[in-house]
Amino acid sequence: MSSVLLVAHHDRLEAAALARVAAAWLQHHGHDVWMLPDDALPLGLHDLESTRAASTADLAVSLGGDGTMLRTVKLVGSANVPIIGVNVGLMGYLTEVEPEALSHALERWFAGPTVGEWHIDERMLLAVSLTRCGAEHRQTWTALNEGVVEKQEAGHTIRLQVWIDGTPFTSYAADGLILATPTGSTAYSLSARGPVLSPRLRAVLLTPVSPHMLFDRSLVLDPSEVVEVEVLGHRSATLSIDGQPAATLVEGDRVSVAPADQVARFVRFGDRRFHQILKAKFGLTDR
Q: Which of 116, 148, 173 is the last residue of a domain?
A: 116
Distance, in Å, from the CA atom of 88 to the CA atom of 83, rounded to the nearest integer, reads: 15
Q: Which of 116, 148, 167 is the last residue of a domain?
A: 116
Task: Report the CATH number at residue 131.
Answer: 2.60.200.30
Q: Are 152 and 232 contacting, i.e. CB atoms less than 8 angstroms apart?
A: no
User: DSSP assignment, residue 207?
Assistant: E
My answer on whether 75 and 139 are in the same domain is no
DSSP element (H, E) containing 21: helix 13-28
- Tell me if 36 is assigned to some domain: yes
User: Closest Cα partner for 23 from 94, 268, 39?
Assistant: 39
Q: Is residue 19 located within the same domain as residue 39? A: yes
CA angle 258-124-245, nearest 5°? 65
Phi-psi sector, 71: left (phi>0), alpha (psi -120 to 50), beta: alpha
190 within a domain of the structure (yes/no):
yes
Whether 131 and 241 share a structural domain: yes
Q: Is residue 257 part of a domain?
A: yes
Question: 227, 213, 225: which is closest to 159 by C-alpha?
Answer: 213
**Are 68 and 188 within one domain?**
no
Q: How far is CA 205 from the centre of its chain?
A: 14
266 within domain boundaries:
no
What are the residue numbers of the active site? 66
Residue 98 resides in a domain: yes
- SS3 at position 201: coil
Asked whether residue 153 falls in the same domain as residue 255, the answer is: yes
Cβ atoms of residues 276 and 268 within 8 Å: no
- Same domain? For 32 and 142 the reply is no
Looking at the structure, tell me whether residues 192 and 98 fall in a common domain: no
Residue 279 lies in a domain: no
Low-confidence spans in the chain with pLDDT less than 70 = 91, 115-116, 272
Domain boundaries, position 12: 3-116
Q: Does 138 reside within a domain?
A: yes
CB atoms within 10 A of CB 262: 17
Same domain, 11 and 79: yes
| 204 located within any domain | yes
One domain, residues 175 and 99: no
Answer with the one of 62, 91, 116 that is the final residue of a domain. 116
Total number of domains constituting the chain: 2
CB of 217 closer than 8 Å to CB of 253: no
pLDDT computed for residue 197 by the predictor: 95
From the CA atom positions of the chain, what is the Rg in Å? Answer: 20
Q: Are residues 193 and 214 in the same domain?
A: yes
Are 95 and 33 in the same domain?
A: yes
What's the pLDDT at 272?
66
User: Residue 16 is part of a domain; what is its CATH number?
Assistant: 3.40.50.10330
CA dihedral 104, 187, 133, 141 (to 10 degrees): 0
Based on the domain organization, do 129 and 238 belong to the same domain? yes
